[in-house]
Amino acid sequence: MTRKIRLLAVILLVSSFIAKAQQIQSPDGQLILSFELKNEVPFYTLSYKGQPVIQPSSLGIELFDDQWDLTDGFTLGQTETSTFDENWEPVWGEYRSIRNHYNELAVTLNQEEASRHIVLRFRLFNDGLGFRYEFPEQPNLNYMVVKEEHTQFAMTGDHKAFWIPGDFDTQEYDYTESKLSEIRGLMETAITPNASQTPFSSTGVQTSLMMKSDDGLYINIHEAALVDYSCMHLELDDQNMVFESFLTPDAQGKKGYLLAPCTSPWRTVIVSDQAADILQSTLTLNLNEPCKIEDTSWIKPVKYMGVWWEMITGKSSWAYTDVPSVKLETFDYSKAKPNGKHAANNEKVKAYIDFAAENGFDQLLVEGWNTGWEDWFGKSKDYVFDFVTPYPDFDVDMLQDYAESKGIQLMMHHETSGSVRNYERHMDQAYQFMVDHGYNSVKSGYVGDMIPRGEYHYGQWMVNHYHYAIEKAAEYKIMVNAHEAVRPTGLCRTYPNLIGNESARGTEYEAFGGSKPFHTTILPFTRLIGGPMDYTPGIFEMDISKLNPENNSHVNTTLARQLALYVTMYSPLQMAADLPEHYQRFEDAFQFIKDVAIDWDDSRALAAEPGDYITIARKAKGTNNWFVGTTVDENGYQSVLKFDFLDEGKKYIATIYADAADAHYKNNPQAYTIRKAVVTNKSVLKQACAPGGGYAISIIEVTDKAQTKGLKKL
């Protein structure tokens, strides 16, 4: 049962025009939030263990066609302070139970000449701050059109930052590590090509933004509970080191349409002097509303394979025939000439089903099964897919029966090609088709520019669409994995059928020229702060030319690091992305993918430094077994792992999948070793990680002494 405790009575304070600073501390007293009005403008500051984190930063919202902006002219009304403490259990997650404990300050600000008011609500947790704007229902502040939100985050210095360019349409960029002052000079090279992109500034960056100060503070800026509002980016004043919110506009340049009573999303600052604390923060989830789905029994983590990587690499195609264009209303596929490269055909899908079933997977994703792929991209085509009509070589009923006979479910694929109006027209029919044919999860995609034309992926209109799709899917008991959607902000707490997102540069880019080797040492500090990512790990063949001679891409990782990603890149939706024949070549390493859990009772960040290395241990749900993963950058790393997270007095068998001594992500990525040893909570492992490498460990509790026969103690 969830425990909710209101510990402090509401305190009402009446302030004069010259407002004294209001303060609250985090429950552990290490963080202090201060708020005050200066010349009728609201400001806040944040400190951690006596060190400033956010210097005085102004707050406000600028409106269109309004005599009074919500930026100044304020007097202080009542203030309320309170404390909240609960424990709640996620449907799936990194922890069996999550504590939601904060002190709160709610400040009413009056604009007396306009006869209206707003509320600023601050919540201070032990690991950071969340705050938002609230607009109570009132006669003189009802309909609002946002011109810009002016929320500032004033930094204390020229911090090291891990950033991607601010963009209204994509997050699929490699990260750049630099000083804040260097962002402007590096922006041009940081903006690499994408199917749809709209960068907006030479100093604009995206959240979640990870930084490290010279005095050793780790600072993360993001947002939580993005609902009916535009996605926030950050614009840097690089003379003063002040970030200011920069909302995604609509086709008319407007940033949002609000109707009171309503709120903004939470603006978040996570801070610690330990990098591992950032990885273990649950602040983003805690700022979201509790689960709104009454019966969640149908929502379950999924380990899956896919008819996908061979299309990504160019070995096969999504399209059934090679014609320049099709009109779905009139084109007769039964008379079309097959191109011979279409992957989603009956025999191949059956072979994938067989392999997935033999190796204990739950589901199989099949892309390119439905008509329309011949001219799906880049044509601004409205009626591009109908989401229910298969190609001639894909027998929906037969394949579903075959999958069911093998204990496998098929995973649906809905690519919209950005034609959102078309998707919404077909959504009920598409979801009902899934229910009728036994599909309970869908990978949706939003590749390309938006229709309606001029809208952006991260504007309010699209944010509302993604939310609508999740709610509609819940009506049909369908789990959603949205690709190219807005970056997550913890909404999976409220709608746990949002079981995954892409919303960042995933494994597919390893077949599009490659990603920087340090990429997976940064994503858990940035993209994963908002929720799990469908990163699609598990690539064993790094030379893409062996799949497609015309593609000279190289996957910048060792094989051992690919195993580690199943632990370090948290997701309840984990894919073994490579081809079955590649796993058959390395069956001993593939065993880890088969064994690793996807739902957890506990998680520990054991060692971490953004851009360098991450080591995480997770305890499989309902067991006493643990899994460990380490991912490192291009410089390699000497890991020292203490097993003190294990239960005292118990023995475990650790199977260690590590880089070989001569492994290297570029010239020897498939060199690995596997060894077993007996470990206890007193054991210590010293393990060298190759450049771009890492290691993975399965740790299984010993229940019979015979299990340890012939094994040495570590």
Based on the fold, state whether residues 154 and 188 are members of the same structural domain: yes
Q: Is the peptide bond before 572 cis (omega within 30 degrees of 0)?
A: no
Asked whether the predicted pLDDT for residue 4 surpasses 50, the reply is no
Q: Which domain holds residue 129?
A: 22-287
Based on the fold, state whether residues 311 and 403 are members of the same structural domain: yes
Q: Is residue 11 a part of any domain in this protein?
A: no
Based on the fold, state whether residues 261 and 378 are members of the same structural domain: no
Based on the fold, state whether residues 518 and 491 are members of the same structural domain: no
Q: What pLDDT, on the 0 to 100 scale, is given for residue 287? A: 99
Q: What pLDDT, on the 0 to 100 scale, is given for residue 703? A: 93
Based on the fold, state whether residues 241 and 309 are members of the same structural domain: no
The identity of residue 698, as a single letter, is S
Contact 245, 222 (CB under 8 A): no
Based on the fold, state whether residues 47 and 179 are members of the same structural domain: yes
Q: What is the CATH number of the domain that holds 405?
A: 3.20.20.70
Q: Which residues contact 79 (CB under 8 A, 6 or more apart)?
A: 11, 12, 13, 15, 22, 105, 106, 107, 108
Confidence of residue 169 (pLDDT cuts 50, 70, 90): very high
Q: Is residue 113 a part of any domain in this protein?
A: yes
Q: What pLDDT, on the 0 to 100 scale, is given for residue 14? A: 33
Confidence of residue 158 (pLDDT cuts 50, 70, 90): very high
- Write the burial class of residue 674 (CB in 10 Å: 0-12 exposed, 13-18 middle, 19+ buried): middle
Q: What pLDDT, on the 0 to 100 scale, is given for residue 256? A: 97
Q: Is the peptide bond before 57 cis (omega within 30 degrees of 0)?
A: no
**Using one digit for the tens of pLDDT, what is the confidence trace for 639-683?**
999 999 999 999 999 999 999 999 999 999 999 999 999 999 999
Q: What is the CATH number of the domain that holds 178?
A: 2.70.98.10
**Pairing between β-strand 116-125 and β-strand 22-25 as defined by DSSP bridges:** unpaired
Based on the fold, state whether residues 553 and 460 are members of the same structural domain: no
**Using one digit for the tens of pLDDT, what is the confidence trace for 430-469?**
999 999 999 999 999 999 999 999 999 999 999 999 999 9
Q: What pLDDT, on the 0 to 100 scale, is given for residue 551? A: 98
- Asked which of 287, 313, 346 is the last residue of a domain, the reply is 287
- Asked which of 268, 287, 306 is the last residue of a domain, the reply is 287
Q: What pLDDT, on the 0 to 100 scale, is given for residue 387? A: 98
Q: Is residue 587 a part of any domain in this protein?
A: no
56 C-beta neighbours (distance < 10 Å), count = 14
Contact 129, 46 (CB under 8 A): yes
Question: Encoding tokens for residue 352?
Answer: 């994938």
Q: Is residue 6 a part of any domain in this protein?
A: no
Based on the fold, state whether residues 280 and 408 are members of the same structural domain: no
Mean pLDDT of 101-110: 98
**Using one digit for the tens of pLDDT, what is the confidence trace for 46-68?**
999 999 999 999 999 999 987 78
**Using one digit for the tens of pLDDT, what is the confidence trace for 332-349?**
999 999 999 999 999 999
Confidence of residue 369 (pLDDT cuts 50, 70, 90): very high
Would you please indicate which residues are annotated as catalytic (active-site) residues? 508
> CA separation (Å) from 315 to 347, 551, 576?
17, 9, 18
Q: Is residue 662 a part of any domain in this protein?
A: yes
Based on the fold, state whether residues 149 and 227 are members of the same structural domain: yes
Based on the fold, state whether residues 126 and 230 are members of the same structural domain: yes
Cα separation, 695 vs 3, whole angstroms: 39
First to last CA, the chain: 41
Q: What is the CATH number of the domain that holds 653?
A: 2.60.40.1180
Residue identified by tokens 């859990």 is: 597
Q: Is residue 592 a part of any domain in this protein?
A: no
DSSP state of 448: S
Based on the fold, state whether residues 344 and 488 are members of the same structural domain: yes
Torsion sign over Cα 341, 343, 344, 347: positive
**pTM of the predicted model as reported, rounded to 2 decimal places:** 0.96
546 C-beta neighbours (distance < 10 Å), count = 12
**Using one digit for the tens of pLDDT, what is the confidence trace for 595-642?**
999 999 999 999 999 999 999 999 999 999 999 999 999 999 999 999
Q: Is residue 579 a part of any domain in this protein?
A: no
Number of structural domains the chain divides into: 3
Based on the fold, state whether residues 253 and 327 are members of the same structural domain: no
Q: Is residue 16 a part of any domain in this protein?
A: no
- Asked which of 266, 287, 308 is the last residue of a domain, the reply is 287
Q: Which residues pair with 212 in a beta bridge?
A: 160, 218
**Using one digit for the tens of pLDDT, what is the confidence trace for 463-509?**
999 999 999 999 999 999 999 999 999 999 999 999 999 999 999 99
Q: What pLDDT, on the 0 to 100 scale, is given for residue 21? A: 86
Asked whether the predicted pLDDT for residue 22 surpasses 90, the reply is yes
Residue identified by tokens 């109707």 is: 259
Confidence of residue 324 (pLDDT cuts 50, 70, 90): very high
Question: Encoding tokens for residue 50?
Answer: 């006596």
Q: What pLDDT, on the 0 to 100 scale, is given for residue 596? A: 98
